[in-house]
Amino acid sequence: MMQPQGPIISVMLAVADTPTAVEWYKRALGATVLWSLGSVAGLEIAGAPFFQKGKGTRSFSLSKTI
């Protein structure tokens, strides 16, 4: 991972199924898994970290559009 030169902004993506989403990001975008707890995972693409959170007991609603 590259050394940060300043603040880093990371996003948390709401996904329906974290393991399936992780596999898609790995195949489609070349993401690297930093860590995974099943329903929550940290990934990285080209040094940019981001997180995915699936449905669970403490879930938030998934948006259909942006």
pLDDT digits (tens, 9 = 90+) for 5-37: 788 788 999 999 999 999 999 999 999 999 999
pTM comes to 0.73
Domain ranges of the chain: 12-53
pLDDT at 59 exceeding the cut of 60 = no
User: How confident is the model at residue 7, as a pLDDT?
Assistant: 82
- Looking at per-residue confidence, does 65 or 5 come out higher? 5
**Contacts made by residues 16-24, CB under 8 angstroms, sequence distance 24+:** 16/54, 16/55, 16/62, 17/54, 17/55, 18/52, 18/53, 18/54, 21/52, 21/54, 22/52
Answer CATH for 12-53 from 3.40.50.150, 3.10.180.10, 3.30.450.40, 3.30.200.20: 3.10.180.10
